[in-house]
Chains A and B, each alone.
Chain A
């Protein structure tokens, strides 16, 4: 029989909590608290009220005879008593952990949905470095506590509800497209919380694969139901290009590499040809020279530019004034639009919980014709079959289709228009005309007639890259409560996808039409069987833990086909439409198997002293028999000292300490040599020895990690401070080391090396304001990591991690941080750059092994502020990086070709630097003569072999500081009054205005976002052909029914 239940909800200080939800568990009956914190609803005796409010721990209140309840909710500000999900899905009380984890709840993660959950973690977790690439579906890289592996993967492991998922980005080098990292398939709307396990002790139970840390995603279940359980969420985001992140041409000089004839002093910048047939020679610029070292603009000069060349052009045979382009390179882009719509149904009763959701995410990138569409269907449910037996299942199906990713980086430059626009262009070309000529003709009419660079609008319109992926992630689990302290748990978890990547390219100037297709099928299955125990031995002494086994099987198969020499029928993109004989398909099939056995014992005494010991034995398929079984242990202890002191100031205090070892096996198929099979020469078959020498004697690589930390909270949890310090050593790394090709190989797999990472992480939380109407929360994360290469391979003191098209390389040298930039440097005398006294140019070291910089930042940090005033909440996140050195090939080549203002302007005499020295021009570089006296020799800035471009200038000139400060996220939310929305049948409604990447407050890199770069991976901080980034604005509407 129903009765009226009334009550009041307050916080720990006794202040009323308005807007809290009070719900009768398992029913649709619910109410929201009023301004004074009071509520009333109908409920029957024996029912359970669930009281929840954002920022507080929910409470369950069983209804007895009483009809009026005073309910106090504890804040979740510091989360110290929170239960968090740790390795293997084990729930643990945060206070008992002897290692560092940091949780981000779904709401804070999902303030702004960028489509890639990795990016959403940026700035929110200490010790986690995130780098998001610009461009449609661009990849995001996540590295926790520094790069540990010299040549392998350094990305953290992603686990969703116990399902480890593939986050590879192994296709990134395919034609220079960035295919994104595959964790992007995770739907942010389905995330309840994310817990980041940072050190080896936290991840030891995962074994080898989590040596780089793990990101444990818990998805929403049906347990927390609001209203009838239907939630609709809709967000729309618009982007505007941030002009500071793209090329801006100089406005003084037009096309040419330099004087066309007559040497440097000459002023011949136009070919003279009688274009219009009037017998008088006309001026024609050097169409096919991609640089801005031509004539100074002069509106009185009428010249026959590229657009007058083609009979199809509306400007055919029409001269135009020699002036800077009216429409610059930004003309090529569009404003992106992102739509995210989701609906979810959640519910529960005594025996079951469920949540069913559908999300559609659409992104129309900054390049026309691009689109990304992702549909996610998700079902999460659990049933109590008997009081002791619970079954649960999660099924997540994602389809994603992307069209028109754009090329970047060092991939094929044939159709890479971004590289051309940034490095090889003519600043006088008006992009709107380039578009117009293409749109009128539909032809690849190059803005460089006779040159080799295609019309970018043709490329965008006619090169249809596409990829689609159908992915299933799911698990099914049974748990049986054997006794009140012992549970047996079994689970099958699957991640599998079919991935098809197609590249359609119409005829380009340098390559005929082409089609290629790669089919990838991937699966990973994990079988887990665990015994979980948790027993209070005495009133104060608790023992808990797990014993179990994990069997993992991975299979990855890929087949690639491409046409050759063009297409027979134009526009038909199929392998059987190949004009030449297609090159034989290339195929690969790799399988991995791991059999793991693990156990843990956690002892707790009086909620004060905790000790965790874990061990895991893995047997791996990728190491040679006999050395493929290995054991790794961890031990972690914590001491909650606040239990022993009674203080008004200190509300919580814990010290923790741990040590762990994690092993890592080899990549599959790196033991036995196989042969390369080149394309047959007619009927003659060819075979070749592989470039990398495999090694049948590989053994395990090991990461050893120490960590110490302190977690504290003060003044009733109003302030919290957590500090962690750690050191990891990754030894006996399995890596291909570069060896002299005189050995017959370029590289060889060895077990060698030792990389040390040391770091410090601080997170500070506070609630400076907390009165009835206004609250202010602030969270600060800060972390630094220092890596050092302790040793490499016998006699090898440097490992070249990557070489770039210039003389730049990234290196791991013994005694140095991991990832040092080497290249040619200035020649210095007493700290001053030496200038050649004949040419006036900087002297440059003849070798390419000068240390020019360090790719690693000095530190990263983020500050999140949340202000709440009644129903309004304002959040903003400032994210920053200090240090790190980035090399810009865009600047090196773009400067060489005179596209930017660094090659124009006035010299110290007030004359244009582009004028000949003989006429008072030229540039006086700051520096000294070889004898140490100040430089007095000016250098000619008349052609593209000038002093400020590659390769005349040393590479050191194009190293930049990668520091930035960004206003990463802003959101302003308004929760509509309950009374108002209830009139419309709603249970709750929230409207938010959101913004992301609104402002790059500070950066030192010109014309680009320092975060943009190559695809995800260990090697970063090299820029070539990078896209601009956008400022994104939008709104989000969330309705609960």
Chain B
């Protein structure tokens, strides 16, 4: 009657089309991967952990002072992706073209769900999965990370199979590929290549199968294919670094000593893209040292552009994976050195730098003469190339064990963390499930190795 209708909300929407939730999840993901933090709070902290940069002002993150949260991943991305697919699935297509578009949209949303879950499972190990995203069940159990991972690969394969490049996708709401479905096929396969390689030591059969079908299906072949989220020249939609470095002028982050030692030894021209020099020199600080900001190499010009893209997945990492696949003798992939060179060339190309041939010709870079095992060679070069993808750099560091990094003396862990510890709130809001998960993975500690991190 008239009384209860007073309670109606007449200013906010209760429903809208599925594409808006999808766009929002992409933006949230980009903000999350590209965010800057000096805390040990989650995905963005990985670049501090893996010592690509360090904070000379606040050392919470570089000393691993636990403050983790998975709220953005579950609540902001997965929930919106879930709503996106729910709304899209509920809409009846009227034409064939609409039917194809609907299938494509559902498959693309599925790819992004897999992508976000991959971050979760690679961050923590066991995670709420089969019982997640259900508000009726406020104490969801944590599922075994191996099972989650294998299921994600299956979901990925199914989603790729459902993509029809001849049809439409999300159009302008697709903030990564502008509606091009063929690009999403390549993205799906490249992601599958990555996930297959990730579990190669733990699940070689599934891993090999994933890698070979991904390569057959068609992975990225140039930087044109990169999955990038490009920000706008607009203060409200700028890359998170802009707010940090330009708008707030926060002087926290500089290069680390290990990164600069390698890049200086390699005369790496990417130094100038990544950093400013100090009196003509590139200098890195020891992680966790509180030292004057101006004495060390701060983040370079590109990080002060509003439009700096966040990289979801790039061609260079695909080539690095192929180099590794060749080393591992996976069917259909050969010539590790060529893939290694292509990977580095792709990285140079991304930064619009010349001199890749000279770089590759250096004995300490050349695949045939550089020091160490293939893991070491690929690991170190990949680490440098993944500078803007801190989480991926940390994950590959954990898997390949190169470069060799040490935890700072002042850190709250003796080693560079091998996982994130669960968000502290879980102990109070989902205590029983938390305790079971902590026991199942072998302790909610930084030292606990995740299932794929077996060597």
* A452-B250, A800-B429 known; A686-B23 Cβ under 8 A: yes
Do B248 and A511 touch across chains, with their CB atoms under 8 A apart? yes
Residues of chain B within 8 A of A583, CB atoms compared: 236
Q: Can you name the residue of chain B whose Cβ is closest to the Cβ of A558? A: B11
- In the complex, how many angstroms separate the beta carbon of B237 from the nearest chain A beta carbon? 5
Evaluate contact between B135 and A744: CB separation under 8 angstroms: yes
A467 contacts the other chain (CB 8 A): no
Nearest CB on A from B241, distance (A): 14
Q: Which of A829-859 contact B (CB under 8 A)?
A: 846-849
Given contacts A261-B291, A679-B237, contact A745 B79 (CB under 8 A): yes
| Other-chain residue from B7, B28, B249 in contact with A509 (beta carbon distance below 8 A) | B249
Chain B contact-residue range equals 35 or more
Chain B hits for A595, CB < 8 A: 3
Instruction: Verify A271–B3 contact, CB threshold 8 A.
Output: no
Whether the Cβ atoms of B235 and A565 lie closer than 8 Å is yes
Given contacts A260-B292, A681-B27, contact A452 B13 (CB under 8 A): no
Determine whether B1 belongs to the interface, using a CB cutoff of 8 Å to chain A: yes
- Chain B nearest CB from A683 CB (Å) reads 7
Nearest CB to that of B72 among chain A residues? A741
* A674 & B140 in contact (Cβ 8 Å cutoff): no
**Among the listed A743, A811, A943, A951, which residue makes an inter-chain contact with B137, where contact means beta carbons less than 8 Å apart?**
A743
A residues less than 8 Å from B28 (CB atoms) = 688
- Among A258, A510, A564, A685, point to the contact of B20 (Cβ < 8 A): A685
Report the bound CA distance from A620 to B425 in whole Å: 35
Give B445's nearest chain A residue, CB to CB: A846
Cβ–Cβ contact A740 & B429, under 8 A = yes
Chain A residues closer than 8 Å to B5, beta-carbon distance:
621
Residue of B nearest to A811 (CB): B428
Q: How far does the alpha carbon of A685 sit from the alpha carbon of B237 in the complex, in Å?
A: 12
A-facing mask of B158-192, CB < 8 A → 1, else 0? Answer: 00000000000000110100000000000000000
B128 within 8 A of A: yes
The answer to whether A740 touches B234 (Cβ under 8 A) is no
Judging by beta carbons under 8 Å apart, are A795 and B247 in contact?
no
The A interface, classified by DSSP as helix, strand, loop or mixed, is loop
Q: Is B133 interfacial (CB 8 A cutoff)?
A: yes
- Contact of B135 with A748 in the complex, beta carbons under 8 Å: yes
Quick one: which of A589, A592, A677, A746 contacts B71, CB cutoff 8 A?
A746
Contacts A450-B294, A748-B138; A675 near B15 (Cβ below 8 A): yes
With known contacts A625-B1, A951-B60, A951-B65, A271–B236 Cβ distance under 8 A:
no
B405 at interface (Cβ–Cβ under 8 A)? no
Chain B CB within 8 A of A11 CB: no
The answer to whether B20 and A945 have CB atoms under 8 Å apart is: no
Contact at A580–B234, with CB atoms within 8 Å? Answer: yes
Task: Kindly state whether residue B406 has any CB partner on chain A within 8 Å.
Answer: no
Asked if A678 is an interface residue, CB under 8 A from chain B, the answer is yes
Q: Of B11, B15, B74, B235, which one neighbours A588 at CB under 8 angstroms?
A: B11
CB-nearest residue of chain B to A629? B3
Per-residue contact bits, chain A 1-25, to B (CB 8 Å; 1 contact, 0 not): 0000000000000000000000000
Asked whether, in the complex, the Cβ of A688 is within 8 Å of the Cβ of B76, the reply is yes
| Contacting pair B139 A677 (CB below 8 A) | no
B13 engages A796 (CB within 8 Å): no
The interface residues of chain A lying within 8 Å CB-to-CB of B60 are 951
Q: Closest B-chain residue to A595, C-beta based?
A: B3
A461 on the interface (CB 8 Å rule)? no
CB neighbours of B431 from chain A (8 A): 797
What is the CA–CA distance of A579 and B133 in the complex, to the nearest angstrom?
Answer: 40
Nearest CB in chain A: distance from B376 CB, A = 31
| Contact partner, A686, options B24, B133, B235, Cβ 8 Å | B24
User: Which residues from chain A contact B27 at a C-beta distance below 8 Å?
Assistant: 678, 681, 686
* Set of chain B residues within 8 Å of A944, measured between Cβ atoms: 290
B305 interface hit (Cβ, 8 Å):
no
Instruction: Give the residue of A738, A744, A847 whose beta carbon is less than 8 angstroms from that of B424.
Output: A847
Once bound together, how far apart are the Cα atoms of A686 and B26, in whole Å?
Answer: 10
CB distance from A456 to the nearest CB of B (A): 18
Tell which of A452, A621, A744, A796 touches B74, judged by Cβ atoms closer than 8 Å.
A744
B234: A residues at CB distance < 8 A: 580-581, 682
Nearest CB in chain B to that of A745: its residue: B135
* A1005–B205 alpha-carbon span in the complex (Å): 64
Cβ of B394 to closest chain A Cβ, rounded Å: 22
Residues of B close to A847: CB separation below 8 A: 424, 427
How many angstroms from the CA of A345 to the CA of B249 in the assembled complex? 60
Contact of B251 with A452 in the complex, beta carbons under 8 Å: yes
CB distance from B156 to the nearest CB of A (A): 21
- Measured between beta carbons, the chain A residues less than 8 angstroms from B249 are 452, 509-510
Partner of A622, one of B7, B59, B132, B425: B7
Measured CB to CB, the closest approach of chain A to B78, in angstroms, equals: 7
Closest chain A residue to B21, Cβ basis: A687
Q: Mark B285-313, 1 if CB is under 8 A from A, else 0.
A: 00000111110000000000000000000
Verify B9–A624 contact, CB threshold 8 A. no
Contact A744 B78 (CB under 8 A): yes
Nearest-Cβ distance from residue B360 to partner chain A, whole angstroms:
37
- CB of B10 within 8 A of chain A? yes
| Contact code string A429-467 (vs B, CB < 8 Å = 1, else 0) | 000000000000000000000111000000000000000
22 residue pairs bridging A and B, Cβ less than 8 Å apart:
A509-B249, A511-B247, A621-B4, A624-B4, A625-B4, A669-B8, A675-B13, A677-B12, A679-B236, A681-B175, A684-B23, A688-B24, A688-B28, A689-B80, A737-B138, A739-B138, A740-B128, A742-B74, A744-B134, A795-B432, A848-B424, A945-B410
Q: Which 4 A-B pairs have the closest CB atoms?
A: A565-B235, A744-B79, A742-B128, A674-B12
B residues in contact (CB < 8 Å) with A: 1, 3-16, 20-21, 23-24, 27-28, 59-60, 65-67, 69-71, 74-76, 78-80, 82-83, 127-128, 132-135, 137-140, 172-173, 175, 232, 234-237, 247-251, 290-294, 410, 424-432
A621-B6, A681-B23, A737-B138 provided; 18 other pairs, C-beta below 8 A? A450-B251, A511-B247, A580-B234, A581-B236, A592-B7, A621-B3, A679-B237, A686-B27, A688-B24, A691-B75, A738-B425, A739-B138, A743-B74, A743-B140, A744-B74, A744-B78, A803-B425, A849-B427
